[in-house]
Amino acid sequence: MPATSIAANGTGGEFYWRCCATSDHVEAAVDKLMEIIVEGRLNNIYWARQTRTQFKRRIEAAKRGELVPTDQVKPVGDRIPEVLMFEIRWVKIPVNERDPDFPGKARENRVDVRLYFAEPPGHGAVMLGLHCHEKVVTGDAEEIQAAQDSEIAHAFTLYSKGFAEAWGVEALKR
């Protein structure tokens, strides 16, 4: 039976973004999410505001334990049982891309985004944001899975490397 995340338990917990230098860990995670979907794309203030809000609301819902299992939060990395790791899922986030047929014009596209977090043992009800990425959805099923597995492996590496320093999160250094 798959593990249930703090993000979906009805109670929730604290959210921290690894190596966050400010007190607003949710905003730090949203900044990173925006960075990955804006890179190489057209940006406008209205779209950015709406997308930031969508990311923030989902993370805030996770903090309250209100995410829907499988649709919004899903366990990952079941091959490493000593670490509970999950992904927060966003599907079909609108982005503006340059239209190759009409330079200077934009066309809308939709992307899937993932944010991986761990629930480190010994820290109570804590969700530790580690890594986020735009999900690759081109290629065959095997290629898509391999790309996703690579991103999950990267999140586990960040977890392992950051463990000794409490992932750069002051509140977890107790």
The pTM for the full model equals 0.93
What pLDDT was estimated at residue 79? 59
Angle between helices 25-38 and 45-63 (to 10 degrees): 140
What pLDDT was estimated at residue 138? 86
Domain ranges in the chain are 6-172
> pLDDT averaged over consecutive 10-residue blocks of the chain (174 residues)?
82 96 95 92 87 97 96 84 89 88 83 96 94 92 93 94 94 86
Contact 25, 3 (CB under 8 A): no
DSSP SS3 for 37: helix
What pLDDT was estimated at residue 9? 95
Give residue 85's identity as a one-letter amino acid code.
Answer: M
Sign of the CA dihedral running 160, 165, 169, 173: positive
The phi, psi pair for 83, rounded to 5°, reads -125, 125
What pLDDT was estimated at residue 70? 92
DSSP letter for 6, please: G
Task: Report the C-alpha gap between 102 and 92 in whole angstroms.
Answer: 23
What pLDDT was estimated at residue 39? 85
Output b/e per residue, 162-173; b: 16+ Cβ within 10 A.
Answer: beeebbebeebe
Contacts of 46 (CB under 8 A, 6+ apart): none
| Token pair 């959210």 in the structure block, residue | 15
Contacts of 132 (CB under 8 A, 6+ apart): 29, 32, 33, 36, 113, 114, 115, 116
